[in-house]
Amino acid sequence: MHNALDASSTSDGASVGLDFAETHGWRRFDEGRTALWFRGLIPGTSPEALARVAATEGAEGLLRDLPGLCGHFALAATGPGWALAAVDRVRSTPLFFGRGEDRWQVGPAAGRIADRLGLGPADRSPDGALAVAMAGYTIGGDTLYGVLEQLRPGEAVSFGPGGEARHHRYSVYRPWRIADVDGERLRRTLRDVTLSIFERLIASAGGRPIVAPLSAGLDSRLVVSALAHLGYRNVRCFAYGLPGNHEAEASRQIAAHLGYEWTFVPLGIAAQKRTFASDLFRGYMAYADARSSTPFQQDLGVLARLRDGGWAPEDAIVINGNSGDFISGAHIPPALRQPPVGLSVAARRQRVLEALYLKHFGLWQSLRTPEHKAAILARLDAEIDAVGAPFDDPAGDHGVYEFSECQDRQCKYVITGQRVYEYLGFDWRLPLWDPDYLDFWEGVPLEWKAGQRLYAEMLRREDWGGVWHDYAVNAKRIRPGWVVPLRWIAKAASAPAGRDRWHAVERRLFGYWMDNLSNSAIVPYGRWACDGRGARHALAWHTEAYLAGLGFDFAGRPAG
């Protein structure tokens, strides 16, 4: 097994250490005096071919080829006098780097690099730590520490003979670049692009078992129905959550209709408490720690149980619906679903920033101070400015919002749920983050994207697998059942104070038990119900626990 540390010496004595090991899918490819570390899948080429490019053309050759690479990957390479690291267009595997006294440290494990650099709470980035505390993730290239950086989606960093680091943004998701195409043509193109993506996925799977978490929504249903439509039979579906929840019932019916094996893993407060107190959970949190977002752990315990019980084969590929709801327009807030009329560019820009802040930076209501808001808006604005968002057409304002959410929340928090699968020893795919999907959705006009209009119409018209008309999408059902009468009593008592008051009461008294994933079990009920800081949901508590483990308080300040 190859282990770190590899060094690329430069003319002035500076060097770059690549901190990698051949675990969790990372492989090393040597070509002469060049070493390439690679993880992922890139249809149409190979890591061996990239290693040859690196050996003959150096960093310049890799930078030239990056925009044309398909699939999901991360890589790092060293040669005489140079080094380079790069991630794919959605940062599906993150990479981090920081400068020590005599060398740069580069690798996929932020915690290891932070330890090598001797970083702790005293070295925090105020903006980075505040953003994690308020949203669960940083903004742009920030981490919790001022001297530790990360690659943004579609970015590479090169290190030259002088020891300098140069950023290269080879791809940016720009959904304000709208195409002038009629609806019928859009539907046909979306159908064809989607099928093409799944045909490539099937070819790469090679008949191996596919394990799919299946819910009542559009995205995981698309995954399993497209596989069925294209004739892939080696698929197993699972659902989880509170017994009797609507997601599980719809999942069972859809899997049965498609002829796929299905199982359910019940969750509850007691089961999740055991998971959160386990060595499995502690090990995963260390593995997935990016020092820039709360580790996404949603189906860790569930999939571990399915693996350990033999239901999920060791050679399975896990494929979820991440993140069709975002890319198809479901996250565009109501305030941005119509182009503004009569607003200045400055007012429209502020409108987008306010929408981002209101939607995402509210894990704790008590942290929403004017000072904190000003700091968050300034960082968001700087990232929008850095990619040259034009604001030349009001009909594209929603695209600026989508760019920001894609770069930060989706790519730092949501997509990194793939670490769960790696940690448990499974391969994975992300078909709904395929580069072809990015290219398509980047150009869809607001009228077809808002509310997922185009996405939903195409899926229902095509009706792959016959599961798009007779099975409800996200029908709601309150669980557990004992909460229902108590909730109605509390709602009647709170009604005179208005809807906002009722929602606050519901979150505080019943949200702990109604959480379908029981992620609220990270804290005792008494602490949940009596805390006055205004937690939005369970992620606030998980973020507080994550920060505490690194020596920070819930606001991202050094503890104590």
pLDDT at 11 > cutoff 90 = no
Query: Does 197 share its domain with 257?
Result: yes
Q: Which of 169, 192, 215 is the last residue of a domain?
A: 169
Domain count of the fold of the chain = 4
* Lowest mean pLDDT across 24-38, 335-349, 479-493: 479-493
Measured CA distances, 321 to 180, 226, 415, 473 (Å):
28, 12, 11, 14
Its sign, for the CA torsion 492, 364, 284, 84, is: positive
Query: Does 22 share its domain with 134?
Result: yes
Rounded average pLDDT over 107-119: 96
pLDDT at 172 > cutoff 70 = yes
CATH of the domain at 85: 3.60.20
pLDDT at 274 > cutoff 60 = yes
pLDDT at 3 > cutoff 60 = no
pLDDT at 13 > cutoff 80 = no
Rounded average pLDDT over 332-358: 96
Beta-ladder partners of 235: 210
Q: Which of 361, 389, 408 is the last residue of a domain?
A: 408
Three-class SS of 97-147: EEECCCEEEEECCHHHHHHHCCCCHHHECHHHHHHHHHHCECCCCCCCECC
CATH of the domain at 192: 3.40.50.620
Query: Does 157 share its domain with 268?
Result: no
How sure is the predictor about 125, in pLDDT bands with cuts at 50, 70 and 90? very high
Its sign, for the CA torsion 128, 538, 331, 250, is: positive
Query: Does 204 share its domain with 95?
Result: no
- On average, the pLDDT of the chain sits at 94
In-domain check, residue 117 = yes
In-domain check, residue 496 = yes
Helix ranges restricted to H, 176-309: 183-205, 219-229, 246-258, 269-276, 279-287, 300-308
Query: Does 95 share its domain with 116?
Result: yes
- Decide: 224 and 471 in contact? Cβ < 8 Å: no
Rounded average pLDDT over 153-159: 97
Q: Which H or E run includes 491? A: helix 483-494
Joined tokens for residue 217: 């929504």
Query: Does 519 share its domain with 487?
Result: yes
Beta-ladder partners of 261: 236
* Lowest mean pLDDT across 13-17, 231-235, 260-264, 538-542: 13-17
pLDDT at 481: 86
pLDDT at 161: 80
Query: Does 295 share its domain with 443?
Result: yes
Q: Please report, in angstroms and rounded to a whole number, the separation of the first and last CA atoms in the chain.
A: 42
Q: Say what percent of the chain tops pLDDT 90.
A: 87
In-domain check, residue 554 = no
* Lowest mean pLDDT across 139-148, 165-174, 377-386, 506-515: 506-515
In-domain check, residue 358 = yes
Rounded average pLDDT over 289-303: 97
- Decide: 541 and 511 in contact? Cβ < 8 Å: no
pLDDT at 474: 67
Query: Does 304 share its domain with 404?
Result: no
Query: Does 210 share its domain with 322?
Result: yes
Query: Does 317 share its domain with 459?
Result: yes
Residue 87 φ/ψ, nearest 5 degrees:
-125, 165
In-domain check, residue 178 = no
pLDDT at 6: 43
pLDDT at 201: 97
How sure is the predictor about 414, in pLDDT bands with cuts at 50, 70 and 90? very high
Helix ranges restricted to H, 406-482: 418-423, 435-442, 446-449, 453-462
In-domain check, residue 559 = no
Rounded average pLDDT over 291-302: 96
Query: Does 401 share its domain with 429?
Result: no
Domain assignment of residue 515, given as a range: 483-549
pLDDT per residue as tens digits for the range 499-510 = 888 888 888 899
Higher pLDDT, 232 or 507: 232
Q: Which of 363, 385, 408 is the last residue of a domain?
A: 408
Query: Does 63 share its domain with 47?
Result: yes
In-domain check, residue 544 = yes
3-state secondary structure of 424: coil
pLDDT per residue as tens digits for the range 470-496 = 877 766 778 888 888 988 888 888 888
Rounded average pLDDT over 77-100: 96
In-domain check, residue 474 = no
